[in-house]
A and B are shown apart, each in its own frame.
Chain A
């Protein structure tokens, strides 16, 4: 069977900084990672490949350096990686992204074998829209199952998949026809560590790289900024906290340290002291 996992390279949100003057996210120098939600989909695809046989292809759209994320996916165990990169894709919103990825998925199906399941992440940590997966499903006419907490059975011969989907008020057990588009919930599995032979293979693997034209996209006005109707009205950073952490000198004994600490707290918030005094006076 052929599973394709769509991944996105995102800035590591743990290490991101906001420019104090322009309020924009400073992407320069911030390390990138595979969107964490995508990893659960990748792991699920690898598990079912190991169980029922077949191949896992990872696909991403992004700048040339997005190849790093693909290589990491290969290290984890994917069989093949496809990078969709072109200046026409710059500035894509979710509509344009799902358009480009759908074209690439068609080409992947034609080139490397018919796709049974397209896996996407639940959402990205930088955009948080959760729209690209459903967009792909609609464009490619795939059965769409989002927020999947577990896959029970993949039946290649029957052309069906049985899975559990988290929904409001409970868990749905669903069976649907292939091909399908699935997004996995976080925590639905534990992402593996690639074997040493996977790591070796990944380090040397050639990443299939396609431009818009090579992916079979003829109308580039559907891509990138031109194909993106989303308008960003305003970007703002949450206002920084007015009060910063303060340092209290350590005293000679623990009791003295505690006294210095409580004194500093009371000085900042007299109400706490007043309340405590009131409370204590009752005894």
Chain B
């Protein structure tokens, strides 16, 4: 046994863990952080959009030192059929502001930097150290952890579980359920290296400007999922993700889908001639509000992906993780400074503060969305994209057919594929889920 006792042990050095560790250590708490990877970020795959506001709340001056790739000035949404994409491009020069709003980042680099800031505040970080078991006292209160190194256990007043979507600690101790296949997406990503000038030319950007493309449609073969393309400084992240349960039902592999996406005539020219340096895969919690486990209990709190805090509709996850980590840190500090014990009753403060933040409010807003996307996947991701592509082709192709007939064909194709009631129902279901 280790004689020394910590105020808090944080499991994981990703966004949630680093935010929690930084917040507590900068307020003077004695924090131990355990990371199973060789260094913080070494196990991370996201690459990735960083939302400035949430980082600013933790480290206001982060823009001066953090490893940022490009600030985003343009967002493209693509609805894809096999040969076409119907897109909406939003580009605004106002995003060339002094303090950018969104940046592309490479998490393996950003997490390393974030962790250095936490260590500078006094966090003791042990890498290549996996927490394998929570230590609970006779009353079920979490009092410490055991690691995969010999010796220990290590004790603390409270344990922050920021162990990621697949972390075993919380599930082993039955503090949270194992995520179901229908609650997690499997995302795969490749890093395509290209010279900065080529990227700037292909995406019509200059300097540190960046573009994000999010794409849905036939690329996911009727499964609920999305593709993405992010511009980094000298690389392009290309990837896509679909629900694990859909992959299983369809007997499709993510690599096959990614291959299709890369070969799509709208995507191929963007990455032509690039050198692939990395292929990575990761699970993303997609269960939404209804999948959130109990967030606290005697001696512990759960943050980030481990708590399913991910907004699938807006593709936001790391900022929810970061914010939940910060709030957990603040709540723990408040309890500690009152010299109160870390009972479930007192740690409910974390839940209360999180409920009042955008994290839970946003997830609550879209609480019915995951279900809708999953049950209507083949309509939303296969039928409609094809219909839209057909409609657009009808609209722009000039072939001597009178326009009135073209419009009729378009309308009837929608009605035939989905039925008038089906169309109306989808529209209403979608509106309700969005509300």
Contacts and interface: CB of A to CB of B under 8 A. Distances in A.
B149 A203 contact: no
Contacts of B151: 195-198
A193 B147 CA distance: 12
Nearest to B67: A29
Interface stretch (B69-77, B97-105, B124-132, B310-318): B124-132
Interface residues of B, number: 16
Contacts of A194: 149
A196 B147 contact: yes
Contacts of A200: 2, 4, 32, 124, 126, 154
Contacts of B128: 75
Interface string B116-146: 0000000011101100000000000000000
Nearest to A194: B149
B425 interface: no
A204 interface: yes
B83 interface: no
Nearest to A15: B277
Contact of A196 (B2, B39, B125): B2
A276 to B, nearest CB: 31
Most buried by B among A193, A195, A196, A204: A196
A204 B2 CA distance: 15
B124 A196 contact: no
Contacts of A75: 126, 128
At the interface, is chain A mostly helix, strand, loop or mixed? helix
B150 interface: yes
A220 to B, nearest CB: 32
Nearest to A202: B126
A163 interface: no
B419 interface: no
A96 to B, nearest CB: 31
B154 A203 contact: no
B4 A196 contact: no
Contact of B149 (A31, A195, A204): A195
B149 A193 contact: yes
B2 A203 contact: no
Interface in B135-183: 147, 149-152, 154
A203 B31 CA distance: 12
A198 B149 CA distance: 10
A74 to B, nearest CB: 12
Nearest to B124: A203
A195 B150 contact: yes
Contacts of A195: 149-151
Contacts of A193: 149-150
Interface string A190-227: 00011111111001100000000000000000000000
Interface in A134-158: none
B123 to A, nearest CB: 9
Nearest to B259: A247
Most buried by B among A193, A194, A200, A204: A200
Nearest to A197: B151
A193 B150 CA distance: 8
A203 B128 CA distance: 12
B154 A204 contact: no
Nearest to B129: A199
Interface in B84-128: 124-126, 128
A204 B151 CA distance: 17
Contacts of B32: 200
Contact of B150 (A31, A196, A203, A204): A196
A196 B151 CA distance: 5
Contacts of A198: 151
A198 B152 CA distance: 11
A13 to B, nearest CB: 15
Nearest to B119: A203
A31 B150 CA distance: 27
Contacts of B154: 196, 200
Interface string B30-52: 00100000110000000000000
A196 B124 CA distance: 13
A200 to B, nearest CB: 7
Contacts of A204: 124
Contacts of A196: 2, 126, 129, 147, 149-152, 154
Contacts of A31: 38-39
A156 to B, nearest CB: 27
A282 to B, nearest CB: 42
16 contacts: A31-B38, A31-B39, A193-B149, A195-B149, A196-B129, A196-B147, A196-B150, A196-B151, A196-B154, A198-B151, A199-B126, A200-B2, A200-B4, A200-B32, A200-B126, A203-B124
Which 8 interchain pairs have the tightest Cβ spacing?
A: A196-B151, A195-B151, A196-B149, A196-B152, A199-B126, A203-B124, A195-B150, A197-B151
Given A31-B39, A200-B32, 19 more contacts: A31-B38, A75-B128, A195-B149, A195-B151, A196-B2, A196-B129, A196-B147, A196-B149, A196-B150, A196-B151, A196-B152, A196-B154, A199-B126, A199-B129, A199-B149, A200-B4, A200-B126, A203-B124, A204-B124
